[in-house]
């Protein structure tokens, strides 16, 4: 195992100890970001206190902050700051009070600015160049492409890719002649486990493909599981949410599970060598490659935007639009604010 992967694992275990209130997904994201920061600092061993000392030392801290603010989206930058703050808060007693307070104040001010930029950008309702190009694609075109992707039954990775596509693009139920699609976030799909028993899945903060009830049983997401912090407010989120699983998608999932010999309680998606559960970046990479014919930056976020625009543009009453939007884990108001762009 290389050191890069090892740091991720150790950070996840460390975060589980110091921040048990975080969802599995948040710990995963934070561990990934902390790992990047540690590697950027050329630290070749997992040493939290050495990591913290770099943040307290102004010269070394500036290098870290430069890395945080130059690489990635504002959301990723904000994740890095939140991850660092979690580590610092857990080790508050080992730091000089004045240095700790000044450092936390600095990180908070940077975080506030990033959040303002995110909110400002989201509220402009102006399409980016990528959105202008990619959102010419219709939801129906994407669904037809997913359905037509025919892997060889002997090609495990092809079967996995087909299931990934159709779980995202053709997972719907029909209600009053209305197709209600389920479109969750990549992390929820990447972290799915198989559950074939009749009884409910265990309350273990994992996400399951609940085959007996034709459901996606989600216990860890942005809006489910653990505590969510919004500013200075903490919210206890509901423990799970369920979403329908289309019968045709389920039937193929069963074929894939049988071919892969996946046992009850094991991960649904694996990497190309079938050795490890797929992670978010791997899932996103595969998805982007599969959808490359529709544009260079056709990713899960763009898919959600295309679907939300479909919800807003179709001639339906408010109740039907709300029902459609609910299956993306967004309110219609959020959809209209962030995705309906001129």
Q: What angle do CA 46, 26, 106 make, to 5 degrees?
A: 70
Lowest-confidence range among 107-121, 140-154, 191-205, 314-328? 314-328
When pLDDT is averaged across residues 112-141 and rounded to a whole number, the result is 63
Mean pLDDT (the chain) is: 79
Residue 62 gets which letter from DSSP? H
Nearest to 245 by CA among 196, 294, 290: 196
Residue 340 has what pLDDT?
A: 37
Lowest-confidence range among 52-56, 213-217, 234-238, 261-265? 234-238
Residue 4 has what pLDDT?
A: 45
Nearest to 172 by CA among 225, 269, 249: 249
* Domains with residue ranges and CATH for the chain: 3-123 (no CATH), 129-338 (1.10.443)
Could you count the other beta carbons within 10 Å of the beta carbon of residue 164?
A: 22
Q: Per-residue confidence at 264, pLDDT binned at 50, 70, 90?
A: very high
Residue 112 has what pLDDT?
A: 79
When pLDDT is averaged across residues 140-164 and rounded to a whole number, the result is 89
Long-range contacts (CB closer than 8 Å, 24 or more residues apart) made by 333-342: 335/308, 335/311, 336/312, 337/122, 337/123, 338/122, 338/305, 338/308, 339/304, 339/305, 339/308, 339/309, 339/312, 340/125, 340/308, 340/309, 340/312, 341/125, 341/126, 341/127, 341/131, 342/125, 342/126, 342/127
Predicted structure pTM score: 0.63
pLDDT digits (tens, 9 = 90+) for 68-104: 777 677 777 888 888 888 888 888 888 888 888 888 8
Q: Are 164 and 286 in contact (CB under 8 A)?
A: yes
């Amino acid at each position: 195992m290389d050191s890069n992967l090892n740091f991720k694992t150790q950070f996840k275990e460390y975060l589980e100890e110091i921040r048990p209130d975080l969802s599995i997904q948040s710990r995963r994201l934070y561990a990934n970001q902390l790992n990047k920061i540690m590697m950027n600092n050329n630290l070749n061993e997992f040493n939290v206190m050495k990591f913290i000392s770099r943040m307290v030392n102004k010269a070394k801290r500036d290098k870290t902050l430069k890395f945080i603010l130059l690489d990635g989206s504002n959301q990723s930058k904000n994740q890095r700051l939140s991850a660092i703050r979690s580590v610092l808060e857990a080790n508050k007693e080992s730091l000089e009070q004045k240095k700790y307070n000044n450092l936390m104040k600095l990180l908070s001010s940077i975080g506030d600015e990033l959040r303002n930029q995110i909110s400002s950008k989201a509220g402009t309702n102006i399409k980016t160049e990528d959105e202008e190009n990619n959102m010419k694609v219709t939801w129906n075109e994407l669904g037809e492409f997913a359905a037509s992707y025919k892997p060889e039954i002997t090609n495990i990775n092809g079967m996995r890719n087909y299931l990934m596509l159709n779980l995202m693009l053709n997972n719907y139920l029909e209600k009053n002649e209305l197709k209600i699609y389920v479109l969750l976030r990549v992390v929820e799909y990447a972290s799915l486990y198989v559950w074939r028993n009749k009884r409910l899945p265990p309350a273990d903060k994992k996400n399951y493909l609940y085959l007996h009830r034709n459901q996606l049983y989600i216990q860890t997401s942005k809006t489910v599981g653990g505590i969510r912090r919004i500013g200075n407010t903490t919210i206890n989120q509901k423990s799970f949410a369920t979403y329908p699983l289309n019968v045709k998608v389920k039937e193929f999932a069963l074929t894939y599970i049988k071919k892969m010999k996946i046992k009850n309680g094991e991960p649904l998606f694996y990497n190309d060598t079938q050795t490890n559960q797929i992670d978010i970046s791997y899932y996103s990479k595969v998805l982007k490659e599969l959808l490359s014919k529709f544009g260079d930056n056709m990713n899960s976020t763009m898919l959600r935007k295309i679907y939300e625009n479909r919800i807003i543009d179709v001639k339906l009453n408010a109740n039907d639009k709300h029902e459609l939007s609910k299956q993306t884990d967004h309110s219609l108001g959020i959809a209209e604010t962030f995705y309906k762009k001129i």
